[in-house]
Amino acid sequence: MICVFNLLQTVLGHNISQKNPSWSDPNFKTLRPDIISDTFIGDAKYYKVANFSDNPFEKELYAYNVANDNSQPNFVFIPSEETRHLQTLIHNSYRLEVVTVDLRNILKDYYKKQYETLNFVKTLITNT
């Protein structure tokens, strides 16, 4: 059985070889984004996040932007019943796009080879 995490990686074009060649992990930790593509990096959450102040996504907003020299848009993908852009978190030059993803759309994209979720993410990249 395929887990939702692997489905999301597949429909969003995860490819570890797309990692920015100048990626630099901090001295204290190795960073492993869940999704690396040629146009963005992202982390998949396994739970719904209702309040960002309880979880400000520090790793995604700061560590990933620093590690990739702020060269690719960063995303957090939160499971939900609809795909939509919730918020852009900004601190200085760092940005993080917070997006919910509809698990039904992920399944449809995977099994029917549709690109609804990926196209939505690409639209957000184009508009930032």
CA 19 to chain centre: 13
Q: Measuring CA to CA, which residue among 3, 61, 2, 8 is closest to residue 36?
A: 8
Token pair, residue 27, equals 């001295």
pLDDT for 49 equals 72
Q: Which amino acid, residue 15?
A: N
pLDDT for 36 equals 94
Task: Give per-residue burial for 68-99: e unless 16+ CB within 10 Å, then b.
Answer: beeebbbbbbbbeeebeeeeebeeeebbbbbb
For the stretch 19-52, pLDDT in tens is: 888 889 887 778 999 999 989 999 998 777 766 6
For the stretch 115-124, pLDDT in tens is: 999 999 999 9
Instruction: Name the residue ranges covered by the structural domains of the chain.
Output: 4-20+32-127
1 pLDDT more than 50: no
pTM reported for the whole predicted model: 0.90
For the stretch 55-93, pLDDT in tens is: 678 889 999 999 999 999 999 999 899 999 999 999 899
Separation between Cα atoms, residue 102 and residue 91, nearest integer Å: 27
pLDDT grade, residue 98 (50/70/90)? Answer: very high
Decide: 41 and 33 in contact? Cβ < 8 Å. Answer: yes
Decide: 4 and 39 in contact? Cβ < 8 Å. Answer: no
